[in-house]
Amino acid sequence: MQLRPSKDGEAVRLAGRDCMRETTGKGRFITLEGGEGAGKSTNLEYLRNALERAGIELLVTREPGGTLLGEKIRGLLLDPDNTAMSDDAEMLLMFAARAQHIHQLIMPALEQGTWVICDRFTDATYAYQGGGRGVDPRRIEVLEQWAQRGFQPDLTILFDLPVEIGLQRAGARGDLDRFEREQTAFFERVRNAYLDRAKHDPARFRTVDAGQDLIQVQQQLDTIIGELLMIAGCGD
């Protein structure tokens, strides 16, 4: 697979091989996952500060979003007025944003040795569209293979907490987006789907008890940060 600057020098083109992961340089791809109000954004800053202090060059991004196109798609996906959006349209929009994100931002950064921390990635599709909406995971796998060609996060931190605590935290912020308006049963299915994925891929997932106080959550993160610093070659 070759990554080449495009005409405007910003985007790059992905071409060819089956597994993107083979040539992503030394950059590591870390994703944060969890239900609504799990504290990903809050703890992402903690993680970012710890890694940057250790001299690791980082790109922090999010899904859906991360690129100009992806952020426009995010607007469509989260807009509570889009009540008629079908489950298939929702899933395809998620992967459209993701394809652009990988192509324009994530792969070029990894190729240059920059680490990428992403607030949500494909596990969210399995949890929300698969678990929450009931889309057959085999259909998600088809799109995953098409858009990612084997590309996976190196490490995924799952912030797990009881649904009602997460919804209280998220609801305290005011206006609810299209997903936050779903029923509790939807979020229970999302949570179970996440936990199931973590159970089946313990090498990639680290699960944090996010229902605890922030200080205790960050103590759990310290262990994971230690592991990441070892990977970066700057641990004890």
Q: Note the residues at the interface with ligand T5A (CB under 6 A).
A: 34, 36-42, 63-64, 78, 94, 120, 124-125, 128-129, 169-170, 179, 213-214, 217
Q: How far is the CB of 9 from ligand T5A (least distance, A)?
A: 28
State how far the Cα of 113 lies from the Cα of 105, in Å rounded to an integer.
Answer: 13
- Residues 167, 48, 122, 160, CA torsion sign: negative
* φ, ψ at 31 (rounded to 5°): -120, 150
Q: How far is the CB of 40 from ligand T5A (least distance, A)?
A: 3
Tell me whether residue 8 or residue 213 sits nearer to ligand T5A (CB atom). Answer: 213
Q: How far is the CB of 219 from ligand T5A (least distance, A)?
A: 11
Tell me whether residue 163 or residue 228 sits nearer to ligand T5A (CB atom). Answer: 163
Q: Which two tokens stand for residue 207?
A: 């699960």
- Report the Cα 24 to chain-centroid distance in Å: 18
Tell me whether residue 69 or residue 78 sits nearer to ligand T5A (CB atom). Answer: 78
Local structure of 184: helix, strand or coil: helix
Tell me whether residue 40 or residue 103 sits nearer to ligand T5A (CB atom). Answer: 40
CA dihedral 140, 4, 66, 97 (to 10 degrees): -30
Scan for tokens 């889309």, then name that residue.
135
Q: How far is the CB of 129 from ligand T5A (least distance, A)?
A: 6
State how far the Cα of 188 lies from the Cα of 36, in Å rounded to an integer.
Answer: 11
Q: How far is the CB of 232 from ligand T5A (least distance, A)?
A: 24
Tell me whether residue 14 or residue 158 sits nearer to ligand T5A (CB atom). Answer: 158
Q: How far is the CB of 48 from ligand T5A (least distance, A)?
A: 13
Tell me whether residue 40 or residue 197 sits nearer to ligand T5A (CB atom). Answer: 40
Q: How far is the CB of 42 from ligand T5A (least distance, A)?
A: 3
The string of DSSP letters for 38-75 reads SSHHHHHHHHHHHHHHTT--EEEEESS-SSHHHHHHHH
State how far the Cα of 130 lies from the Cα of 127, in Å rounded to an integer.
Answer: 5
Tell me whether residue 24 or residue 61 sits nearer to ligand T5A (CB atom). Answer: 61
User: How far, in Å, are 113, 202, 227 from residue 231 at the CA level?
Assistant: 13, 17, 6
